[in-house]
Amino acid sequence: MVVWGGAANGDPFTGGRYETGSDTWTPTNANKTASAREFFTSIWTGTDMIVWGGDDRFVTQTNTGARYNPATDSWQPTAQAGAPTARHLHTAVWTGSEMIIWGGGSGSTIFKTGGRYNPLNNTWTATSTTAAPGARSSHTAVWTGTEMIVWGGSGLTSPWIRTGGRYNPSTNAWTATTLTNAPIARSSHVAVWSGQQMIVWGGATATFDTRTGGRYDPATNTWSATSLVNAPSERNLPAAIWTGDKMLIWRGQTYDGTYSYHNTGGLYDPINDAWVSTSIVNAPTPRAFFAYVWTGTQMIVWAGCPSDPFGGEDCFGGDGVFTGGQYNPSTDSWRPTPVRGAPGPRYSTKGIWTGREMIAWGGLQTDSDTYTWTGGRFRPPQ
C-alpha cells in the first residue's frame, strides 16, 4: 500500500510504503513533483500510482498530478495540456490502459466533464458531454471491465442525487442508469463492483445519513435494494471494499446535528442479501477520512481524523493519527499496523495496493489546514 500527501505541520509532501512480509514502513521520495493536497484521487496502473486534482496548500483546486513508481522511488508529472479543469471531489477509475477522471467541483462550479489520461503517452482525451449525467461532485464511480458507472452525488440544484450514467471509453458514449427502484438520493456514499453488479451503500441524504443501499445490474439496467437487517449504522464516507464475494464496510462518520465517528462495520453478501457485523476487538479507534486498501486477503486501514469530543468535523479538537489496522474477514480479526517508521499523522489521505505493499500519500494534518506531500510504503506480513 502506498500512502501519500495530506496535511501536516510544515506542509511536507512525503509519503510512505507499507510492505507485506516485513511489517515495516519505507518513506516515499519527497521531491515535490506532486504538490501537497487533499480531496484528490489516486489509482494504481500496475506499475505506478497516479495522484491527480484536489485542493492544494492554498485551498485552491488544481489540475496537476504525478506518477509515482515504487520500483525506482521516483515521481514524474502528468501533462497539463488537455487535462480536465482544476477540481476536487471528483472520481477516478483505471481501465487497464487509461485513468478516467470525471465530475467534481471548483468553488461554486460543478462539472459534468472529464478526461482520459494515457500514462504511456502522457496525454489527455476529453470525455463526451453528450448524454452525460448531470454535473456533480461527491459521487461514486466503478469500472466494470468495459464501462465506468457513476452514480449519486451532490449537484447544481440539489445536494443529493439518485441519477447516474454508464460511460464506454471505446465509443466515448454515455447511457443513463434507470431511476426505477434506484436508492434514495445521496452523496458521500460508497460503491463497489462485484463482477456483475454495482453495489452502493450509505451516504448523506435529505434526512441525515442512511444505512440503505442498492445493487445495480448494467446488463439488465435494474436496481435491487440491499437488506437493512444487521446492516451497519447510518454513516457517510466509510471504507468500502469488494473481497471477491462480499462487500466490506467499515468506519465512516455520522451527522445528526453533530459528528460521530465509528470503528464498526459489516460484510454484505449480495447473493443472500445478508449482513454480518465485523469484530471490534482490537479494531483501530473510531475515525473518518482515512486511507484503506484490499490486499486480496485483508483490508488495511491507516491514518484518519480521530473521534472529536466536541462533535466537530475536520479534526477540530485533535490532529490526524498515524495508527491503523489490518482486518482479516476470514477470521474476523484485527491486528495493528506498526507506527515505527510510518509517515506523520494525517487525514484526507489516499492509499493504493500495488500487489505487494500499500502506498499511502497526501492529506491534511492539523486544525490549521497544513497539507502534506509526504507518504509511505507499508508491506504487511504474509
Cell numbers linked to 39: 480531496
198-201 and 190-193 beta bridge pairing: antiparallel
Bin 230: left if φ > 0, else alpha if -120 < ψ < 50, else beta.
left
**In this predicted model, which residue has the larger pLDDT, 212 or 59?**
212
Number of domains in the chain: 1
pLDDT digits (tens, 9 = 90+) for 37-57: 999 999 999 999 999 999 987
Q: Is pLDDT above 70 for 315?
A: no
Q: Tell me the CA distances in angstroms from 341 to 7, 51, 365, one per residue in order.
A: 18, 23, 17
Cell numbers linked to 59: 485551498
pLDDT digits (tens, 9 = 90+) for 270-283: 999 999 999 999 99
Taking the C-alpha atoms of residue 265 and residue 232, their distance in angstroms, rounded to an integer, is 6
Which CATH number covers residue 123? 2.120.10.80
Residue 57 has a pLDDT of: 79
Q: Is pLDDT above 50 for 183?
A: yes
Residue 371 has a pLDDT of: 87
Q: Which residues of 237-270 are buried (b: 16+ CB within 10 A; e: fewer)?
A: bbbbbbbeebbbbbbbbbbeeebbbbbbbbbbeb
Taking the C-alpha atoms of residue 163 and residue 352, their distance in angstroms, rounded to an integer, is 28
Cell numbers linked to 222: 435494474
Work out the pLDDT band at 231, boundaries 50, 70, 90: very high
> Considering the chain, what is the average pLDDT of its residues?
92
Work out the pLDDT band at 9, boundaries 50, 70, 90: very low
Q: Is pLDDT above 50 for 12?
A: no
How would you list the strands of the sheet with 190-193, edge to edge? 190-193, 198-201, 213-217, 222-225
Taking the C-alpha atoms of residue 195 and residue 243, their distance in angstroms, rounded to an integer, is 11
Query: Of 242, 375, 251, nearest to 296 (Cα)?
Result: 242
Residue 17 has a pLDDT of: 54
Residue-number span of the structural domain to which 292 is assigned? 2-379
Residue 2 has a pLDDT of: 57
Q: Is pLDDT above 50 for 11?
A: no
Residue type, 319: D
- How big is the chain by its Cα radius of gyration, in Å? 19
Which range has the top average pLDDT, 5-14, 216-225, 304-313?
216-225
Taking the C-alpha atoms of residue 197 and residue 166, their distance in angstroms, rounded to an integer, is 13
Work out the pLDDT band at 313, boundaries 50, 70, 90: low
pLDDT digits (tens, 9 = 90+) for 52-87: 999 987 779 999 999 999 999 999 999 999 999 999
